[in-house]
Amino acid sequence: MSLSYRDTGLVNRRSFIALLSLVFLQWVIESMVLAETRIIPALSVTGTYDSNVFYTPKSLLSPGTKPEDYYAMITPQIIASHTGSSITGSLSVGALVTKYVNNPSLDYTGINASGMVDLRNYVYKFVPRIESLSVMGTYQYTPSMSAFGASGVGSMSGGFGTVGVVGPLDAGLVASRVSMQNIMAMITGGYRLTPVTSMSGNFSYTQLKFGNQSGGLNNQFFDTSGQTGVVTLTTRLSARDSVGTTTTLSHFEQSGSSSTTGGGGGSGSFTTINGMLNWGRQWSREFNTSLSGGGLLTLPIESQIPGEKIKSQLTPTALALLSYTSYSETLKAAGASLSSLSPFEGLPPLAGSLQPGAIFAPGRYNATLSYNLSVFPSYAFGAGPMKAHVIGANATAGLTSNLTANGGLNYSHGSINTPASTFDTVGLTGGLNYLFGSSFVGSITYSWLYFANSGGIQGGTVGEDIAFSKKMIMVSLSYAFNSRQFFRAGSFSSIGGGASNSPTPSPNPIPDMKLTN
């Protein structure tokens, strides 16, 4: 009887597995029906003049080091998108092969990869109130960084002017040239509770791991990983106004990176709880605002190491976003994505990667202003909470049918507790993109960065005030194979059924830690 029971269970398990396999096969076949898959190889070649490739005061470099350099970067990339009745998604994989003239020891090959899958249409069949559901992720390896991520201003080349803070690498702190790996994974979704109220949220995991430094420096870096959960409730009061609340819980783990020349040692963790009230308003078809304000509680940190033990701290937090754009009528609601409509929309942008929509039509424009006050993990000089004010602005405008101008500005003021120090950073970027034919774009970009640190530790010196500036001039040629409209903004709007369902970043998400090269 027992044997018969086991046989019955085995048959049931086999039947269940067979049923699951059948359902999965049906799902695959159904997702391929009426689907469209696009694979676009792309290639970019960039020549750069950099006045300070080491991101540090020249006085701290080893004798004989040449901070001024010229380098060439070749970026082969594959961009793919799949648009089906149930599932849409996109994937980008590329390499950054870089050769230096004065510092050949800095030659490197970096890696950029990002992907996004939108599952909303598939889940909608079973949960009609679902408003969004997507999974996304990025991986980066790069040996250098800026203070502001360097994406969004000039699709063909990087810079120091961006809008929107999503992590500590965008919050203004600069800590020399160091190799690093960055991993981000996020699942995000939205659910309609009532005809006028929706709930959205996301959970993300990030990891930032440091390697070797250049220029003979011995700054201390801290490998950082974190998890963040965000829940937002939004109620639409009218066709123009919406209000709501956002609650964020973040936990960070940090340890001294043994692979940096600054040595290992030091570890810790901290947790933050953030609550905000939100108000969004669409003043006209062109002008939108989003304002958030509240408080962020950093829970007490227990440590036996002097200076690392801190009491609970309550910090005000704020987020403001103003956008003025010629194509707001395409937005689904206040706070929706401002990027050009395409099957690649929602793909997380990475510095050094090609993005679609670099060329605007004549008279088309987009201007954005943002302010962010929040707490991020400090990853250099000292671990623990870092408070930063960041103001960002950028603008893009189509001057002619083939010529687009863009510019960006960032300012950051931050403070760190261990060691007690403050820093100020200014980043500026301006550039032009010109479309030759239909698939070939040339761009020129000028970037300037200034960083000043008071009371910190750099180059092994405690309490010394340091400051430096650097400028970069980049000339880039980019070509997209198998696509005549890849670089034109909005050229894919007929594919994918309109605006993306993926939400904009929450007021205080864990970072995707965008890097620059």
Q: Between residues 130 and 35, which one has the greater pLDDT?
A: 130
User: How many angstroms separate the CA atoms of 447 and 162, rounded?
Assistant: 12
Q: Highest-confidence range of 141-155, 217-231, 239-253, 310-324, by mean pLDDT?
A: 239-253
The fraction of the chain above a pLDDT of 70, given in percent, is 74
Q: Which residues of 122-161 are buried (b: 16+ CB within 10 A; e: fewer)?
A: beeeeeeebbbbbbbbbbbbbbbbbbbbbbbbbbbbbbbb
Please name the residue ranges forming H helices in 33-130.
120-124
Does an H or E element contain 331, and which?
none
Q: How far is CA 211 from CA 53, 65, 153, 222, 485, in A?
A: 17, 20, 28, 10, 39
Tokens 């000089």 identify what position? Answer: 381
Mean pLDDT of 298-320: 78
User: How many angstroms separate the CA atoms of 386 and 267, rounded?
Assistant: 16
User: How many angstroms separate the CA atoms of 117 and 382, rounded?
Assistant: 37
Flag whether pLDDT at 15 surpasses 90: no
- Find the length of the chain: 517
User: How many angstroms separate the CA atoms of 339 and 75, rounded?
Assistant: 23
Q: Between residues 513 and 132, which one has the greater pLDDT?
A: 132
Between 36-40, 312-316, 360-364, 504-508, the lowest mean confidence (pLDDT) is in: 504-508
> Could you write out the three-class secondary structure of 416-468?
ECCCCEEEEEEEEEEEEEEEECCCEEEEEEEEEEEEEEECCEECCEECCCEEE
DSSP 8-state class, residue 310: B
* Tens-place pLDDT, residues 46-97: 999 999 998 888 888 888 899 999 999 999 999 998 888 888 889 999 999 9
**For residue 220, which of 169, 268, 176, 182 has the smallest C-alpha distance?**
176
Q: How far is CA 362 from CA 326, 368, 395, in A?
A: 11, 19, 14
Whether omega before 419 lies within 30 degrees of 0, making that bond cis, reads yes
* Tens-place pLDDT, residues 246-296: 999 999 999 876 555 444 445 678 999 999 999 999 999 899 999 999 999
Mean pLDDT of 128-156: 74
User: How many angstroms separate the CA atoms of 474 and 157, rounded?
Assistant: 7
**For residue 475, which of 159, 46, 158 has the smallest C-alpha distance?**
46
Tell me the two tokens of residue 119.
């599952």
CB neighbourhood size of 439 (10 A): 18
Q: Give the pLDDT band of residue 303 (cuts 50, 70, 90).
A: low
Between 241-250, 334-343, 364-373, the lowest mean confidence (pLDDT) is in: 334-343
Give bridge partners of residue 424 from the DSSP assignment: 413, 452
Contact 231, 246 (CB under 8 A): yes
CB neighbourhood size of 14 (10 A): 10
Give bridge partners of residue 397 from the DSSP assignment: 365, 405
Tell me the two tokens of residue 391.
């103001």
Tell me the two tokens of residue 431.
């550039």
pLDDT for the residue 454: 83
pLDDT for the residue 305: 54
Q: What's the mean pLDDT when you consider all of the chain?
A: 80
Between 2-6, 278-282, 357-361, 433-437, the lowest mean confidence (pLDDT) is in: 2-6
Q: How far is CA 440 from CA 42, 402, 482, in A?
A: 10, 11, 12
Q: Give the pTM.
A: 0.81
Contact 180, 487 (CB under 8 A): no
Q: Between residues 335 and 148, which one has the greater pLDDT?
A: 148
**For residue 337, which of 126, 485, 118, 18 has the smallest C-alpha distance?**
118
User: How many angstroms separate the CA atoms of 492 and 16, rounded?
Assistant: 42
Q: How far is CA 425 from CA 262, 430, 468, 513, in A?
A: 23, 17, 10, 17
